[in-house]
Amino acid sequence: MIRFYIALWAAKLFQVFYNLKGFPKTDRPGLLACKICPDFLERIAKPKLVITVTGTDGKTTSSTLLNNFLRSQGLQTSFNDWGANMMAGYAVNLMRGVNIFNHSRIDASILEADELSLDTYMPRIKPDYIFVTNICKDSLRRNGHPENIFNHIEHTFRLLGERTKGVINASDPISCELNRDGRNVYFAMGDTKTDPFPNISKDIAICPRCGGKIIYDYRHYRHIGKFHCESCGFRNPEADVYADAVDLKNRKMTVNGHEYPLISDTVFNAFNVLSIVAMLTELGYRDDTIAEFLGGQRVTNIREDSVEYNGIEYIAFAAKSQNVSAASVVFEYMAKEPSDKDVVLLMDEVQDKNHPTETLTWLYETDYEFLNSPNIRKIIVGGHMYLNHKLRMLLAGIPREKIAAVEDEADIPQNVDREGITKVYVLFETDCVTKAKNMRDAIVRYAKEGK
């Protein structure tokens, strides 16, 4: 116990130091706490409500919306809002919620959580809910196959037992199999008529129960939709929270007979909103209270941020590199979003520069073919992997004249069009938010200087 209090006080002192230095969003105090006291996560006092948000895609948006709502209702929360979603991040999150005597001083903790290490840390924290957005194909280097992620999340539920309730996506044939013998709240969506493109790489190829063929009545994107197996009868679980009408153009949807605003015109963000409605309904909040809150929300500017100059909108738009599912979904959105546009790719992970061998397989599982669309006038790519991206685009059938590939990223702005388009999208790896906004602003400055 003495070691725990030394760890707690040292972490709080370290946090004050970083606050004074202007770096409040750091998980280093949590790392220090866990080094001093290896069982820090077990010993730290928890608030009455702890919600863990995990899954391949949508964790940050969903957990941010959840945290913002609870705060709007007057609750005191702690939240790792800068994406520190592993051990040190959890430690900082929980440490901020207690005083120096380890007494909780908040109402709830929202933990955005890495899927791969979930079964290592959540049994120590013992959350009240684990809310799973989806399970899709992710980084081969880090996460491997979706079945690997499923196994880690399922193992977590088994370790936690009945004390933890699942909030599960019933439209996902992978994650809907989680915690089948436990307590779950299921959410699902009716046909959005998005007519998704076929993907090169499948998130799930066969029925998880019998190995038969999965048949879709409709899909929303990738493997998310209404499905069944003709061999064994596997199908979507019955949804407790169901969106039966979704209007992406006008940004609204009807869930269990009540209308809710959407935060964007994308189907994947509609699912993020639906998951929040499911979670908040489970917590007992009224539908009109939830709807009023959602009416004032937009996609977090960590994921999407825009400025306008001279009739052109310049948008920094998150698209995870190494993540086959997330990148392909964004590429499909680029093709279907009707404006005439240029697309800038800043999707290389910074750490790849220091690797003697780079992981290239994700390029060939990601649907670059979607970028071969008439409303995408030019694709500009720069950086240390620029030739790999160019080769992949050529193999996707994208005409050579539509590709501008430069090694020095500083040369990107001069290659962006200023006529014949209405939007410029800078697609960026999610660890490079500042870099992406700086590039977007550099493109705007170049346009203003009229070079």
What CATH number does residue 445 fall under?
Answer: 3.90.190.20
How do beta strands 224-229 and 214-221 pair? antiparallel
pLDDT at 358 over 70: no
Are 284 and 334 members of one domain? Answer: no
Residue 39 forms part of a structural domain: no
Residue 312 near residue 297 (C-beta atoms within 8 A): no
Helix, strand, coil shares, percent, the chain, to 5: 40, 20, 40
Contact present, 206 and 151 (Cβ < 8 Å): no
Asked if residue 250 and residue 345 are part of one domain, the reply reads no
Confidence of residue 353 (pLDDT cuts 50, 70, 90): low
Which comes out higher in pLDDT, residue 135 or 205? 135
Residues 76 and 225 grouped into a single domain: yes
Tell me how far apart the 2 most distant CA atoms of the chain are, in Å: 67
Domain count, the chain: 2
Asked, for residue 216, whether it belongs to a domain, the answer is: yes
Of the listed ranges 78-82, 223-227, 268-272, 362-366, the one predicted with least confidence: 78-82
Task: Establish if 240 belongs to a structural domain.
Answer: yes
**268 and 358 share one domain:** no
pLDDT digits (tens, 9 = 90+) for 150-175: 999 999 999 999 999 999 999 999 99
Residues 339 and 367 placed together within one structural domain of the fold? yes
Residue 156: other Cβ atoms inside 10 A = 27
Co-location of 341 and 394 in the same domain: yes
Per-residue pLDDT tens over the stretch 294-338? 999 987 766 788 899 999 999 999 888 888 999 999 999 999 999
Please check whether residue 198 is in contact with residue 370, taking contact to mean a CB–CB distance below 8 angstroms: no
**Is residue 16 assigned to a domain?**
no
Tens of pLDDT, residue by residue over 104-122, are: 999 999 999 999 999 999 9
In a domain, 213, yes or no: yes
Domain range enclosing 48: 44-294
57 half-sphere exposure, CB direction, 13 A CA radius: 30
Partners of residue 424 on adjacent β-strands: 314, 342
Q: Identify the DSSP state of 368.
A: G
Q: Mark whether 356 and 411 lie in a shared domain.
A: yes
Q: At which of 230, 261, 294 does a domain end? A: 294
